[in-house]
Amino acid sequence: MKNLRRKTLAAASAVTLGVGLALTGGLAPAAAVGPDTTFLVLAPQGATTDAAAARVAAANGTVVASYHQIGVLVARSANPDFASAVKGAGVESVAATTGLGSALDEGETVEVSAADAAAASGDPTTEPLYGQQWDMPMIGVPQAHAITTGSPDVVVGVLDSGISSSHPDLASQIARDKSTSCVGGVTDTTEAAWNPTTSDHGTHVAGTIAAAINGVGVTGVAPGVKVAAVKVVNDDGYIFPEAAVCGFVWAAEHGMQLTNNSYYIDPWELNCRNDARQRPVWQAVQRAIRYSQSKGVLNVASAGNSNYDLAHKITDEGSPNNGTPETRENLTNACLDLPAEAPGVVTVSAVGPTGDKSYYSSYGQGVVDVTAPGGDTRFRTQGTRSTSTDAILSTTFNTATRTNGWGYKQGTSMSGPHATGVAALALSAHPGMTPGQLASFLERTAVARSCPAGVYNPVPLIPTGPHAYDAACSGGARNGFYGAGVVNAYNAVK
């Protein structure tokens, strides 16, 4: 029986996002007072939130954010009976988000120092650290840049831990007027709010998408486009469902054509819509994703780093990862990895320098749409030790010293932004595509890769055990490891 196991990656990345809150809201006077708690309150699909808001007030709660476009309220209350009291006409479902937080697995960032700046020429190969970016030629970036580096009219929302606005490779790339913090489910557009505080994960992701060709550091896949910081990770390293809802709606309302989502929502890697504890979260996130798609946004998400077959869910015994794990058996396709398995979302697995599946990458026939470089630091030694230069080099921000730099991370968190960058180039070269058309185009221009024969495991000598990363690939030209294939920037723009 296949179990879902968490994997901690050697050279950074695996992102698991759960939920964390830092809001203050007026507390209604209540006879009984409990801890100040945050809730998602959902109105019936298509209904206004007016009745739900009235019920929140009557239950001694405060609405701190209203996403009326999708019928979702973020409320706070110290009433210990709030969840039952708020139910009734105008409220479809309600869920407290307390305890749903999971930490962003930051892993290790291996920092490098930049060489002397080269003269900016519009050629990515002249960037000082380009020689260490094995991922860019793998997906045809130099050839693509001879045609286009992307249009500044294309804006990519990076739903993550913030972007360093002072980074020399990113300062000119950020759409400041479209950036915000969504921590707690409430927007804050001040620059300090959407800059990183305790994590450089979002800065690394943003660099892979759009680091400038400026004679400094590295190049991004689409250095001509803009990125917007949509911060969804709080200072304690958590993301709540309400932050993700806020992020998708913000992107929809601010003219973004793409979002990159290198995380999963909830401490359960699989969010089950038939589980009463999780259904309101599933509903709220689904509504937000659908709304963003209706506004022309294509959402790209990472498949995950558990070496898990998402097409054959059986048992999850490692969740939630923020408390005592529960064993959930006989799982079905009602349980999804969100946002990766939400309808219309492009799901990306990871490959290493050889083009083979990264040992940690999750997979699944009919789930993975495309694959992209995410790094694999263990394949050279069959798992015994790491080789950092086989990870992905991008922009970093040292949160201890508050300094910008460059460094290596690995994970499907890194493969996702490669696919997002290629999609941004495609939309720049061929404007006007709908999210569905763009997703299909990304797949059609990918380079197909066949399944390896037999049981696949590039790291049999890893200390966790010889079979810890066994995986079986199914399918033909489109398969569970690679989907339609490795994204290709040149094919997407020519």
Residues forming the active site: 160, 201, 413
How far are the Cα atoms of 130, 142, 157 from residue 139, in angstroms, in the given order? Answer: 14, 9, 22
Distance CA 158, CA 150 (A): 17
Distance CA 461, CA 493 (A): 41
Distance CA 449, CA 471 (A): 16
Distance CA 219, CA 267 (A): 34
Output the 3-class SS for 42-74: ECCCCCCCHHHHHHHHHCCEEEEEEECCCCEEE
Distance CA 99, CA 20 (A): 9
Rg of the chain taking only CA atoms, in angstroms: 22
Sign, Cα dihedral of 209, 351, 289, 144: positive
What number of CA atoms fall less than 13 Å from residue 448's CA on the CB side? 8
- Tell me the residue type at 310: L
In the block, residue with structure tokens 């993975």:
368
Pair of tokens at residue 96: 């407290």
- Under DSSP, the state recorded for 369 is -
Q: In sequence order, which residues have a C-beta less than 8 Å from that of residue 236 and are 6 or more positions away?
A: 20, 101, 103, 198
Instruction: For 331, list phi and psi in degrees, rounded to 5.
Output: -70, 155
How far are the Cα atoms of 32, 253, 389, 391, 469 from residue 461, in angstroms, in the given order? Answer: 57, 49, 20, 19, 10
Instruction: For 9, list phi and psi in degrees, rounded to 5.
Output: -80, 150
CB 8 within 8 A of CB 103: no
Calculate the CA 238 to chain-centre distance.
13
How far are the Cα atoms of 42, 43, 247, 251 from residue 67, in angstroms, in the given order? Answer: 10, 10, 11, 13
CB 7 within 8 A of CB 360: yes
CB 233 within 8 A of CB 199: yes
Angle at 195 between CA 192 and CA 197, to 5 degrees: 100
CB 19 within 8 A of CB 239: yes
